[in-house]
Chain A
Amino acid sequence: AQSVTQPDIHITVSEGASLELRCNYSYGATPYLFWYVQSPGQGLQLLLKYFSGDTLVQGIKGFEAEFKRSQSSFNLRKPSVHWSDAAEYFCAVGGDFGNEKLTFGTGTRLTIIP
């Protein structure tokens, strides 16, 4: 069964500082990996995705993530955070086409301090 672990429940960073959110997955084959962001009271917005090819993927809002198969990780990074980045971030893993179920991690809440 597929699973996702986000070890950090809550992270606080200063505005302008760099950010890395951790994600580890378990999946038997090549996974499809996603990062979603959720602002309070809102749905989930896709930040970026990895399916194949280049292991460093770029997303919206200046985010990027790197797929490392050897570490079963897909960490999200941003070089300089903005106050508007405060939100909850979810890593998700999916797989075979035809199985549209995504398995989500428990999320990491990001707080930005001025």
Chain B
Amino acid sequence: KAGVTQTPRYLIKTRGQQVTLSCSPISGHRSVSWYQQTPGQGLQFLFEYFSETQRNKGNFPGRFSGRQFSNSRSEMNVSTLELGDSALYLCASSSDSSKTGELFFGEGSRLTVL
């Protein structure tokens, strides 16, 4: 079956703009997690959605938000972009039945903020 799909793969924005990233999970997966990956901070957990509800949240400012739709697709939004938001944003889905937290990752959306 198809893997996790993230769009767009690459994008360039300027400071102060906002951006929306999209993630389609593996069919049947109801949990979607988002991670930010930077050379300096590594992989940092942003938030996790399950059945349209935010179930976990990392330590990021309120400029970072997300949502999940009834078909489990998820979006994350970053408002008022800062240079430090340049990163690879990874989406991962997991099966509720796995009971292990095993994540399946997409290829990421690489955001560059100028």
B45 cross-chain contacts in A, Cβ below 8 A:
101-103
A114 contacts chain B at the CB level, 8 A cutoff: no
| B-side contacts of A42, CB under 8 Å | 107-108
Whether the pair B100, A49 counts as a contact (CB closer than 8 A) is yes
Q: Is A74 an interface residue (CB 8 A)?
A: no
Count class of interface residues, chain B: 20 to 34
Interface SS of chain B: strand
Count A-B contacts at CB 8 Å: 67
A101:B105 contact, CB within 8 angstroms: no
Does B90 make an interface contact (CB < 8 A)?
yes
B14 within 8 A of A: no
What B residues does A99 contact at CB under 8 A?
Answer: 55-56, 101
**Residue in chain B with minimal CB distance to A106:** B42
Within 8 Å CB of A25, what residues of B? none
* Chain A, Cβ-Cβ closest to B107: A43
Chain B residues in contact with chain A, CB under 8 A? 4, 6, 31, 33, 35, 42-43, 45, 48, 50, 55-56, 58, 90, 92, 94, 99-108, 110
